[in-house]
């Protein structure tokens, strides 16, 4: 259950969207002033019969990340994702992919761009019903003009990767929904496009199959390092696979950020309503909620240690030396040792054993330890360095306002 974090090297912007507006209707340009004047979607629809699809969207998507776009049905997610490969033309705004202004591409080059740069997975699969599974997977390559034998071989490989070896000659209608979407995924991967657009790709699947597919996507992403734009209306899904999340409401972007930001600091009631139903114990890691490691004791002698302990609240501290976290020290014990010998060196022999928890652990897994311990639990990173501490009260606070279940 440990979330895979991609190496946080310097992010490279791959897709840039600036000031994007989309007004659906017969004469959108004419009514754009109303949009700029700040009229709401409903007002514009009532006055002009035009539907405001997107309003002033600005975002940057980095190379190699999974960027999730989330929102309720009708909030403009599909409209937004279709702008990336220009299945929909914007009314206003700039769409740049690797520095290329997609809006300026003439038809032929747009087709080349779609063939090589991006591939797409659809909510209702969008498979070609009259082609066999292997031909469906090879479709993108066929459009590119790759020879039949070459694309067939490649398609077979990808079918194997998604776990559908042996289904090559079936037709889509003969497969289950989950299998069909695997074909859709294989088709998208088969072109080796760098960017993967997924419009509610898993929404039509049963919960169990869906979570299998999510796992598969995460696993594939660890190998392939694609840039994935993933649309969903399900926050759990967004938190599970997203490196960053953007939330849309009525065509407007209401919040953008890392999953923890969204969960812990919802920007408004709309986001909060989303967040309320999330199982935080499963969605958050220790790192995101732990407090600074203030009860750290780094002294050489017992006397110094006692002095450090007086400096902070509580009658205990965590002994940390150059080898990292060692154990917990209580004031009582230290005092006794000090009374024995006030010059004595501090060693790990003075510590009580207390297991530290990993900062990457999901909250759910540390609940029992945290509740059973009389002390706050020390939090360590991969190297054993102490990076924070987690108290019962912090845990209760974070998990407690998840749902008003105590009332």
Ligand X SMILES: Nc1ncnc2c1ncn2[C@@H]1O[C@H](COP(=O)(O)OP(=O)(O)O)[C@@H](O)[C@H]1O
Binding stretches for other proteins (CB under 8 A): 85, 87, 111-116, 118-120, 122, 124-131, 139-140, 142-144, 171-177, 180, 187, 191, 197
Residue 73 touching ligand X (CB under 6 A):
yes
Residues 177-236 that bind ligand X (CB under 6 A): none
75 binds, among ligand X, other proteins, Mg ion, none (CB under 5 to 8 A by kind): ligand X
391 binds, among Mg ion, other proteins, ligand X, none (CB under 5 to 8 A by kind): none
Helix (H, G, I), strand (E, B) or coil at 104: helix
Using DSSP bridges, classify how beta strands 66-70 and 227-232 pair: parallel, antiparallel or unpaired: parallel
User: Helix H segments across 242-387?
Assistant: 259-264, 269-276, 280-283, 286-289, 302-310, 331-340, 363-372
Q: Which of 20, 35, 77, 85 binds ligand X (CB under 6 A)?
A: 77
> How near is the Cβ of 77 to ligand X at its closest, in Å?
3
171 binds, among ligand X, other proteins, Mg ion, none (CB under 5 to 8 A by kind): other proteins
Angle, alpha carbons 179-185-190 (nearest 5°): 125
CB nearer ligand X, residue 23 or residue 186: 23
Residue 75 touching ligand X (CB under 6 A):
yes
Which residue is nearest to Mg ion, using beta carbons? 78
> How near is the Cβ of 119 to other proteins at its closest, in Å?
7
Pair 54, 20: CB distance under 8 Å:
yes
User: Residue 231 corresponds to which tokens in the numbers above?
Assistant: 């649309």
> How near is the Cβ of 196 to ligand X at its closest, in Å?
17
User: Residue 44 corresponds to which tokens in the numbers above?
Assistant: 């514009």
What is 268-291 written as a DSSP string? Answer: SHHHHHHHHTS-HHHH-BHHHHPB
> How near is the Cβ of 395 to other proteins at its closest, in Å?
46
C-alpha 231: how far from chain center = 11
Q: Which stretch binds ligand X (CB under 6 A): 71-79, 274-282, 306-314, 364-372?
A: 71-79
Angle, alpha carbons 352-307-328 (nearest 5°): 15
CB atoms within 10 A of CB 195: 21
Alpha carbons 269 and 3: distance in angstroms, whole number:
27
Q: Which of 28, 53, 266, 378 binds ligand X (CB under 6 A)?
A: 53
Q: Which stretch binds ligand X (CB under 6 A): 68-76, 113-121, 278-286, 321-329?
A: 68-76
State the residues that interact with ligand X by CB under 6 A. 24, 51, 53, 71, 73-79
């Amino acid at each position: 259950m440990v979330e895979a974090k991609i190496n946080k090297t310097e992010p490279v912007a791959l897709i840039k969207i600036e000031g994007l507006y989309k007004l659906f209707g017969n004469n959108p340009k004419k009514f754009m002033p109303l949009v700029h004047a700040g009229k709401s979607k409903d007002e514009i629809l009532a006055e002009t019969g035009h539907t405001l699809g997107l309003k002033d969207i600005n975002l940057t998507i980095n190379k190699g990340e999974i960027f999730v776009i989330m929102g309720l049905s009708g909030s403009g997610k599909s409209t937004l994702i279709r702008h990336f490969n220009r299945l929909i033309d914007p009314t206003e705004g700039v769409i740049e992919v690797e520095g290329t202004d997609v809006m300026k591409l003439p038809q032929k080059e747009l087709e080349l761009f779609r063939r090589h740069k991006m591939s797409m997975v659809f909510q209702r699969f969008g498979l070609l019903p009259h082609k066999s599974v292997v031909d469906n997977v090879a479709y993108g390559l066929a459009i590119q003009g790759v020879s039949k034998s070459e694309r067939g071989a490649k398609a077979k490989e990808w079918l194997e990767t998604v776990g559908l070896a042996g289904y090559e000659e079936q037709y889509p209608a003969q497969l289950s929904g989950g299998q069909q979407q695997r074909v859709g995924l294989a088709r998208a991967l088969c072109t080796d496009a760098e960017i993967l657009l997924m419009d509610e790709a898993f929404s039509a699947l049963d919960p169990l199959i869906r979570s299998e597919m999510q796992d598969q996507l995460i696993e594939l992403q660890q190998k392939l390092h694609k840039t994935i734009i993933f649309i969903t209306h399900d926050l759990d899904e967004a938190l599970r696979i997203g490196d960053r999340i953007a939330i849309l409401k009525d065509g407007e972007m209401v919040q953008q950020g890392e999953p923890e930001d969204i969960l812990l600091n919802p920007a408004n009631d709309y986001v909060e309503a989303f967040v309320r139903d999330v199982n935080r114990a499963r969605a958050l890691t220790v790192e995101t909620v732990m407090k600074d490691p203030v009860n750290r004791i780094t002294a050489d002698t017992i006397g110094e240690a006692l002095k450090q302990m007086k400096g902070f609240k509580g009658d205990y501290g965590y002994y940390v030396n150059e080898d990292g976290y060692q154990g917990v020290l209580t004031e009582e014990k230290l005092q006794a040792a000090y009374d024995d010998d006030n010059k004595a060196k501090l060693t790990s022999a003075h510590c009580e054993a207390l297991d530290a928890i990993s900062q990457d652990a999901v909250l759910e897994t540390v609940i029992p330890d945290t509740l059973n311990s009389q002390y706050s639990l020390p939090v360590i990173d991969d190297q054993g360095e102490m990076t924070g501490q987690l108290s019962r009260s912090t845990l209760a606070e974070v998990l407690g306002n998840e749902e008003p279940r105590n009332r």
